């Protein structure tokens, strides 16, 4: 049976001094520490059979993908399905100013199981799973790296593990520059593993994430 692995890498730390929930906003780059996290992830993958590097279109993901592409001598492909989930609080200082504590925003918090503040978990899971299977089919017998974001990666993991999709964002196991790796024998998913090549860093949902 042909074994194929697709690694889903969360981007590194973002330069965000104003503590904005940046979501899909443009021009949010990696911090200096985030750049180092990306290099650490690339070194952790060195020697693997990686034949494709695919990234979310957002700047922080593209910058995280760059050192990996350099290690393997590959071009970065962009897949819009790997992008961050939508969020109605995007552009606000949601944690700093407590945007979700304001009565006018309560309508966005009425149903955490959907969630009512952004892209439905089911939609997020389906687009990420479709992207994962497409990359798997492209690199059969080898490995690939897909750079994405915390909510999409964690939702994909819960989906393939058969768990309910709704969850508390502060309980995601998806640290900055972490790897969630899916391995198939043929079309059968056989392993889901998690590692933190940049070290144990915050698993808070952050401002993007």
Instruction: Identify whether 202 is part of a domain.
Output: no
Instruction: Identify whether 16 is part of a domain.
Output: yes
Alpha-helical segments (H) within 31-120 = 32-45, 59-72, 94-97
pLDDT above 60 for 96: no
CB contact at 8 A, 172 and 149: no
Domains of the chain: total: 1
Cα–Cα distance between 85 and 71 in angstroms, integer? 29
Instruction: Identify whether 190 is part of a domain.
Output: yes
pLDDT above 90 for 112: no
Instruction: Identify whether 21 is part of a domain.
Output: yes
- At 117, the pLDDT band (50, 70, 90 cuts) reads confident
pLDDT above 60 for 79: yes
Q: What's the CATH number where 98 sits? A: 3.40.50.1240
| The two three-digit tokens of residue 194, written as one number | 């998690």
Instruction: Identify whether 206 is part of a domain.
Output: no
Cα–Cα distance between 174 and 153 in angstroms, integer? 8
| The two three-digit tokens of residue 79, written as one number | 């897949």
Instruction: Identify whether 203 is part of a domain.
Output: no
Domain extent for 102: 3-195
pLDDT above 90 for 113: no
- At 50, the pLDDT band (50, 70, 90 cuts) reads very high
- At 203, the pLDDT band (50, 70, 90 cuts) reads very low
Quote the mean pLDDT of the chain: 90
Instruction: Identify whether 131 is part of a domain.
Output: yes
Cα–Cα distance between 57 and 184 in angstroms, integer? 26
pLDDT above 70 for 109: no
Please say whether the dihedral angle defined by the alpha carbons of residues 69, 4, 57 and 22, taken in this order, is positive or negative: negative
Instruction: Identify whether 60 is part of a domain.
Output: yes
pTM of the model: 0.91
Residues above pLDDT 70, as percent of the chain: 87
């Amino acid at each position: 049976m042909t074994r194929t692995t697709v690694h889903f890498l969360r981007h590194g730390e973002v330069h965000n001094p104003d503590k904005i929930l940046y979501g899909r906003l443009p021009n949010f780059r990696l911090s200096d520490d985030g750049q180092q996290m990306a290099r650490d992830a690339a070194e952790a993958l060195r020697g693997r059979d990686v034949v494709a590097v695919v990234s979310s279109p957002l700047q922080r993901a593209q910058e995280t993908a760059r050192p990996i592409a350099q290690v393997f001598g590959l071009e970065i492909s962009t897949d819009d399905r790997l992008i961050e989930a939508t969020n109605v609080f995007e552009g606000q200082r949601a944690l700093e100013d407590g945007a979700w504590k304001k009565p006018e925003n309560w309508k966005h918090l009425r149903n955490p199981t959907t969630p009512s503040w952004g892209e439905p978990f089911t939609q997020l899971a389906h687009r990420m799973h479709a992207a994962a299977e497409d990359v798997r089919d492209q690199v059969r017998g080898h490995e690939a790296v897909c750079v994405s974001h915390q909510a999409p990666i964690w939702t994909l993991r819960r989906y393939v593990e058969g768990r309910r999709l709704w969850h508390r964002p502060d309980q995601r196991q998806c640290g900055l520059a972490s790897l969630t790796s899916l391995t198939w024998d043929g079309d059968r998913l056989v392993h889901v593993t998690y590692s933190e090549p940049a070290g144990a860093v915050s698993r808070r949902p952050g401002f993007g994430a």
